[in-house]
Every structure is written in structure tokens, then in C-alpha cells.
Structure 1
Amino acid sequence: MTTHSETAPGETASPADETPPAEAGTQAVEAEASAVEADASVMAAEVPAVDAEEPVVAAEASVVVGTAPKKSRRRLWWGIARWTTAVLVCGGVGTGAALGITAMERTDVPGLETEHDGRWDYPKIALPALPEGVQRPYTGGNDGEVHHADLRGLLLPAPTGARTDPKLNGGWVGLDTYLAELDADVRGEVREAVADSALRHIAARGWTMPDGTSTRVYLLQFNSVGFSETFKDDVLGAGTVGGKLPAGVEDAELDDATTDIRVPYTSVYAFKEQKPYGPEQTRWVYVQAGDTLALVTQSRKGEALTVPFQQTVALQTQLLG
């Protein structure tokens, strides 16, 4: 290989600048060899060293591991998706069940039933409307504490399942019907006293429950609270155990079943038939409420139960309060 070099005009080549052809070829080969060695050193630097103690198979295995993740990752993601779906479904079912239980009454949830306490199922109770221009009792301007609403609307309705008494259907009743609730020995005395008591009228309702409990409610309305209290205290003796007894009752004692009934402007006097009594027991109560005196009696074979008696008295007292 011959190298040509240009010389400026007027200049002559120096013998020292000329390179013999044989030496030039040798230099070119050495240069190419150096370049190859340099490339090899660069490649060696880029490839990590392999531990001499590990067999060559380890390097091949690493290649296999490097190409497998596509399939393994698909399985991994599929597993995650399945578990996520299961968790969401279980969560949804659990939430739905919780909401369903929350919306249910306690007595409808298996294992959480509340034992029935003996209360009766009364319909919704509301006060009757007042005639225009009058005031309710116990308010200013109504000194006689008169119930101007229709007295029949102040009677407690019969509970669900009751068999109503056709003679005591929530309407007006005569004096004889009321006197039949008292012992026969005192009826004449009470009849004579009524003539001087300014009694206006009597409303009554009666019913019998499936367990045999018989209930009668009487509302006696007088001209004012003064006449009502006088009849209660002087005629019936309703505030004492020695007062007029219901028919069929020989001896009585105070009944503390109504001590927690507190309705403003009312007074409650409760009694029960004292042992030993006959085939049935009677409980009764007088409720003084302004111009009206209520008598509530309950009789039942064996024993008159406390809970329905309390409930009935409380509701009737609220209607009069």
C-alpha cells in the first residue's frame, strides 16, 4: 500500500518523511489489531463476569427464568382477580345481610326474639275534636275542669282480638247498667246519692280477650270537678280499701300495679281482690280526672294479670288527662 502526500509548490520531500512500503503495511495491520482488541475489551466490560464455580447450566437456567414471567404473571393476576371478586361478593352479601337485619323488627330476627310481655295490641289512640270556642280541662278559663269533647270519644277502644260486649259498645248507658258493677248490697245507697250528685251521663265499653280476661270501662261525667270528687269520696269511698266493692268481691287490698302511672291533673286509686277468692280474680281502679270519674275493672279466671291491667289503666288515664 502506497501513501501519497501532497507537497506545497517549491517544497521537496525529505527522505526522512518517506515511509518504506513494507513498514507502512505492518503499521496498518497493527492498527487494525489494536482496534479489534479495543472492541473486545469494551464488550467484555459490558458483559458481567460469571462465577467460575457456577456451571454453565446456571446461565442457561437464568435465561429460562427470564422468559417465563409472561405465563406466571397471567396466573398471578388471574388469582388476584378471583380473590378480589370473592371479597367484593362476600362484602356485598355481608352488607346486605346487615342492612336486612337492621331493617327487621327484633321479634323477626331468629335468635333475637323478645319474649312477649303480655301487653295487648291497641289501635292508634287520639283525642276527639273539641267544639268550637271551648277549652280543654285543666286550662285557664275552664275552672270546672270540664271535658267538652264527646265523652264517648274519650273511651279507650278495644284491643285487637277482643270480643266486644254488645251492651257496652262505646255508647251511652243507663244508671242501672253501671250499678250492676257494684255489690248488690250498696246499689240502693248509690242510686239515692246519684240524685244529688249532678251526674250528667255515663259512657261505657266492654270486651273479652281470648285468654278470658273481661274488661269494662265506665266514664261518669258530672257538672264540674267538685261534684265528681264528692261522689268519689263520699259515695263510693274510692280512695280507701273500705269503699264500695265490685260485684262478687268480698275483700280487697291496695294494688301497687299502677303506682308508676302519673298523668298530670289526674288521680289513680287501684285495688285488687284479696286471696282467697273464687274461681276468678278482679282488679279495678278509679281515675279522677276533672269533671269525670272513670271505673276500669278486669276479671280473669285464676288470676287477673298485671301487665294488661297496667296498660289499660295507663291509656285510659292519658285520654282523660
Structure 2
Amino acid sequence: MTERTSEAADMAEATGEAERAERAEVTEVTEVTEADPTNEAAAARPDSTAVAPAEPAGLPPAPAPASPPQATAPRDRRVLRAVTRWVAAVAVFAAVGAGTAYGIASMERGDVPGLATESDGRWDYPELTLPPLPAGSPRPFAEGNRENAHHADLRALVLPAPAGAKEDKALRGEDGWLETKDYLAEYADDEHREQVRQKLVDTGLRHIAARGWTTPDGVSTRIYLLHFATAEMVDGQIASDTVSYSTPSYLVRGVHDAVHDEEFPEAAAVSGIKRVAYTEPAPHGPEHVRLGYLAAGDVHAVIIQSLKGGEVPAVPFQQTVVLQSQLLG
């Protein structure tokens, strides 16, 4: 009897320990499941033993796992790369634009493509200056100079040669005055030369100042300033007899005919200077000639330009006549 009782007690004690152990296991599983709600498998199977071990006591809780990448991350990276490329492109264009602006600002207007001013054919003459006058002498067309006389040295009033031209030193003479026979050599034949010579003698020619040159384009220029006693002599005897509206009275060498130059602008007139211009009409001979005659007070000016194998350009001819007029005015 005592033995059966002892056996029953032992069995009851074993059964109690087994129940306590089972309850402890269930409790441990429950605690682990509550501590990690993301463990869906453990929550589904409370009796499962494949669970994470409990964290040691006294340590802070493990950080929550990072959220998984969002689905829009690749699109954000594409946008970021596109923005970066645009920023780089803007920087490059800004640098190029700044360099171009500096380059244009440092250039002369004529060097900029599309803004260049093409030459109209004018020659590059040096800066013109009037020679000094004797003390107390007025300019030729000043209010107090009723005779319109030139008191300055006539040799200093001849237009200088433009840049690049080859000067004809023979026209300067030994002392700057040209002999009458050298001037008469400009006329076509003996008859005309003799008529002009006699006219110069009769009107009391004083001096002839001259200059000539040839530019790189082959145009030959000769300028003659004939100085007389009075302006009345020039107007009444020389200019009126030498020139007319239709054609000059005496043809120069190389010219078969000459007509009034209709291309010469009237607006280019210089105050006090009477001007008549002629050109050789087509068909002309081996060379083309343009002629300009000026009556400037007591000075009669003859300007001749010629070109072999071509036609004398109108612009440099007009420029030469106008500048010489300004020096005489």
C-alpha cells in the first residue's frame, strides 16, 4: 500500500513537472512572438522551436530594420542625373558665351563677321594740315581778302600722295616749282600745247606747283596748281577759256574725247571753289582718263587721273578733287 502511494506520488510529481515545463515553453514562445511581431511564422505556430533567441538582459533593444527601398528610387536617380547634366551644360554654355562676348568686345567693329564695313575705294591720304600764313595775311576766302589771293606757299598746298603710292619726283622740280614746258607736255598735240603756252604768257603765270604718283592699282595721278596775279585773271581768262560744260577746250594726251562727269556729286562742292569734272566716255583708247579743273581765287588747278587697260574708279577721283579743293579753300 505504501509502495503504491509512493509510486502515485512520483507519477503525479513527474506529471506536474512535465506540465510546468510545457507551460514554460509556451510562455517563452509567446514572449518571443510578442517581442518580434514581424515573425509571422512564429506567430502562426506557437509551438514551434525555430525562433530567435531572447536578447540578453540589460542591453538596449535592437534597432528596427531599415525600411525597404521605395519603388520610385530608380526614377529619382534618373531625375538627379538629368538635372546634373543640365547644370553642367549650362555652365559650359555660360563659359563659352563669356569667352565669345570678351572676344567680340576686344575686336574692332570691322573685324566682327557680319559687322564689317567694306571699303568704298577711297585712298588712305595722310592727315591734311594747312601751311602757316605770313603774319597779318588772311586766308584766300576770308572776309577781309577781297582779291581771294593765296598768301601761303603754293607748294605746301598741293595734295600729298596717299599711302602705298609711288611718287613721281620729276613733277616736284628742283626747288618745288615745275617748269612750264613740263606742264605743257600733258596736252595732246603741238597745236594745243602752243595755244595753252601763249595763254599762260598773256595772263602773267607766276608759278606752277605740281605733284604726281601712281597707286598700286595702276592709277596715275597728276596735280598742277597754276598761280596767277589775280582771281579775275583766273575767272575771266583761264577758267572760262580752258573749260566748258560739255568738254574741255584743250584735250590732254591719251584722250580722244571728254564729257561732263555726271557721277560727281554736287553735294561735294567746297565753298568758294568752282569745279568742273570730265570723264572719257566709252569706248576709250588704251587708257581711261578723268579730268578735274578748279578755280580757287588766284589759283587754277588741273587734276588728271589715268589708267591703262581699265577705267579710273570714280570714288578716289572724287576724293582727290575734293581734298585738293579743301586745301585751296
Between the two proteins, the alignment pairs up a number of residues equal to 251
| Corresponding position of 2:137 | 134
Quick check: 1:262 aligned with 2:269? yes
Paired AA for residue 269 in structure 1: V
Paired AA for residue 168 in structure 1: L
| Corresponding position of 2:209 | 203
Deviation at 1:250, TM superposition (A): 2.2
Deviation at 1:146, TM superposition (A): 0.9
Deviation at 1:186, TM superposition (A): 1.4
Deviation at 1:200, TM superposition (A): 1.5
| Corresponding position of 1:186 | 192
Quick check: 1:226 aligned with 2:229? no
- Of 276, 282, 304, the match for 1:275: 282
Deviation larger for 185-194 or 277-286: 185-194
- Of 221, 230, 242, the match for 1:236: 242
Q: Which deviations, in whole Å up to 9, do the C-alpha atoms of 1:127-170 show, x marking residues without a partner?
A: 11111111001112211101111111111111111111121138
Paired AA for residue 218 in structure 1: Y
TM-score norm. by structure 2 comes to: 0.68
Deviation at 1:269, TM superposition (A): 0.3
Q: Which deviations, in whole Å up to 9, do the C-alpha atoms of 1:280-319 show, x marking residues without a partner?
A: 1111010111111110001102222212111111111111
Q: How high is the sequence identity, in percent, across the aligned residues?
A: 43
Deviation larger for 255-264 or 211-220: 255-264
Output the CA distance in 1 between the equivalents of 2:193 and 2:241: 11
Quick check: 1:172 aligned with 2:171? no
| Corresponding position of 1:157 | 160
- Of 280, 283, 294, the match for 1:287: 294
Q: Is the 8 A contact 1:233 1:239 kept in 2?
A: no
Paired AA for residue 129 in structure 2: A
Output the CA distance in 1 between the equivalents of 2:294 and 2:109: 35
Deviation at 1:259, TM superposition (A): 2.8
Q: Is the 8 A contact 1:266 1:289 kept in 2?
A: yes
| Corresponding position of 1:16 | none
Output the CA distance in 1 between the equivalents of 2:168 and 2:244: 25
| Corresponding position of 1:26 | none
| Corresponding position of 1:104 | 108
**CA spacing shift, 1:238–1:205, aligned 2, 3 Å:** farther
Q: Is the 8 A contact 1:203 1:219 kept in 2?
A: yes
Q: Residue 326 of structure 2 aligns to a residue in which SS?
A: helix
Deviation at 1:213, TM superposition (A): 0.9
Q: Is the 8 A contact 1:232 1:238 kept in 2?
A: no
Output the CA distance in 2 between the equivalents of 1:195 and 1:226: 16
Output the CA distance in 2 between the equivalents of 1:296 and 1:206: 10
Quick check: 1:307 aligned with 2:315? yes
Output the CA distance in 2 between the equivalents of 1:84 and 1:252: 67
Quick check: 1:217 aligned with 2:223? yes
Deviation at 1:207, TM superposition (A): 0.7
Q: Is the 8 A contact 2:178 2:208 kept in 1?
A: yes
User: After the TM superposition, which parts of structure 1 deviate over 3 Å for at least 4 consecutive aligned residues?
Assistant: 58-62, 79-92, 110-116, 237-240
Output the CA distance in 1 between the equivalents of 2:183 and 2:147: 24
Q: Residue 209 of structure 2 aligns to a residue in which SS?
A: strand
Q: Is the 8 A contact 2:140 2:297 kept in 1?
A: yes
Higher strand fraction (1 or 2): 1
Paired AA for residue 299 in structure 1: S
Q: Is the 8 A contact 2:172 2:209 kept in 1?
A: no
**CA spacing shift, 1:164–1:81, aligned 2, 3 Å:** same
Q: Is the 8 A contact 2:207 2:226 kept in 1?
A: yes
| Corresponding position of 1:144 | 147
Q: Residue 168 of structure 1 aligns to a residue in which SS?
A: helix
Paired AA for residue 181 in structure 1: E
